[in-house]
């Protein structure tokens, strides 16, 4: 009855959030901004609930790209979390970001960010070269076109990256609804950001009360 070691758990990985900023979002066309923001809220909320080491990195925040999404700021405020601002398009090539990521001492790394074909492909492939187990939350990434996003995901999968979705991420961490210590927080988060699945949870909770 042992779960696969290939599954994510709260204590076996770090989450890296890359360039979720206005200037990057303005040109993102492969996913609607409402859907992207909801998915980002899900993964940020999940990492917070399960105490997953989470690194937020930006590119030229003050001079070009602007502030991070409100959903990230809510879960990981700049004042207390500290974001790592870079000049490099590849997070892996920034010394401070690299040290922060490897400093988590997690062999599994989960990436999400903008844009898929540049700011996610770079660190994902670089981490693979250093023998990390790499996951990308594909519906919490976006690019300037469907083609750009899909080719980037395809390229990473061919290299060995494991794709997953935002709801898959949070449910893989929860894993068992009998885990009451996180049950309420997870279901509340899904009610707020989980679309029709969240409505289903709200419906079932309400109907059970009758």
What's the pLDDT at 66? 85
In the numeric block, which tokens belong to residue 46? 């999940």
Residue 138: pLDDT over 70:
yes
3-state secondary structure 133-173: EEEEEHHHCECCCHHHHHHHHHHHHHHCCEEECHHHHHHHH
Q: DSSP labels for the chain?
A: -PPPTTS--TTSEEEEEE--BHHHHHT--SS-HHHHHHHHHHHHHHHHHTT--EEEEEESIIIII-PBPHHHHHHS-HHHH--EEES-SSGGGSHHHHHHHHHT--SEEEEEEB-IIIIIHHHHHHHHHTT-EEEEEGGG-B-SSHHHHHHHHHHHHHHTPEEE-HHHHHHHHH--TT-HHHHHHHHHHHHHHSHHHHHHHHHHHHHHT-
pLDDT (0 to 100) of residue 63: 64
Instruction: Confirm if 42 and 161 have CB atoms less than 8 A apart.
Output: no
Instruction: Choose the weakest-confidence range: 153-167, 176-190, 194-208.
Output: 194-208
Angle, vertex CA 102, rays to CA 96 and CA 106, nearest 5: 145
Report pLDDT for 27: 96
**pLDDT, averaged across the chain:** 95
- Of 39, 65, 46, 71, nearest to 119 by C-alpha is 65
* Euclidean distance between CA atoms 138 and 178, whole angstroms: 28
CA atoms within 13 A on the CB side of 105: 1
Convert the pLDDT of each residue in 161-179 to its tens digit: 999 999 999 999 999 999 9
What pLDDT sits at residue 13? 98
Confidence check: pLDDT of 194 > 70? yes
Q: Residue 123's closest CA among 24, 27, 57?
A: 57
Question: How does pLDDT run across 31-82, given as a tens digit for each residue?
Answer: 999 999 999 999 999 999 999 999 999 997 766 788 999 999 999 998 788 8
Phi, psi of 140 (to 5 degrees): -115, 25
Domains delineated in the chain:
13-176 (3.40.50.850)
Q: Kindly name the residue from 14, 101, 119, 134 that is annotated as catalytic.
A: 119
pTM reported for the whole predicted model:
0.95
| Whole-number Å distance between alpha carbons of 173 and 167 | 10
Q: What is the pLDDT of residue 210?
A: 57
pLDDT (tens digit per residue) in 140-167:
999 999 999 999 999 999 999 999 999 9
Task: Clarify whether 141 is annotated catalytic.
Answer: no
pLDDT digits (tens, 9 = 90+) for 76-119: 998 788 899 999 999 999 999 999 999 999 999 999 999 999 99
pLDDT of res. 165: 98
At 80 the pLDDT is 82
**Averaged pLDDT for residues 15-20:** 98
């Amino acid at each position: 009855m042992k779960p696969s070691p290939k599954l994510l758990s709260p204590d076996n990985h770090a989450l890296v959030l890359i360039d979720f900023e206005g200037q990057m979002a303005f040109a993102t066309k492969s996913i609607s901004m409402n859907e992207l923001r909801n998915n980002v809220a899900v993964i940020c909320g999940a990492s917070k609930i399960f105490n997953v080491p989470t690194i937020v990195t930006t590119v030229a925040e003050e001079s070009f790209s602007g502030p991070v999404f409100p959903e990230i700021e809510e879960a990981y405020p700049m004042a207390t979390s500290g974001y790592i601002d870079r000049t490099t398009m590849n997070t892996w090539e920034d010394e401070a970001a690299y040290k922060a990521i490897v400093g988590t001492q997690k062999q599994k790394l989960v990436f999400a960010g903008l844009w898929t074909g540049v700011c996610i492909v770079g660190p994902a492939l670089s981490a693979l070269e250093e023998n990390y187990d790499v996951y990308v939350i594909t519906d919490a990434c976006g690019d300037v076109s469907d083609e750009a996003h899909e080719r980037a995901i395809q390229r990473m999968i061919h290299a060995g990256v494991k794709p997953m979705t935002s709801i898959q991420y949070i449910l893989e961490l929860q894993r068992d609804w009998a885990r009451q210590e996180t049950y309420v927080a997870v279901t509340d988060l899904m009610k707020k950001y989980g679309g029709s699945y969240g409505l289903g949870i709200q419906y079932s909770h309400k109907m059970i009360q009758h």
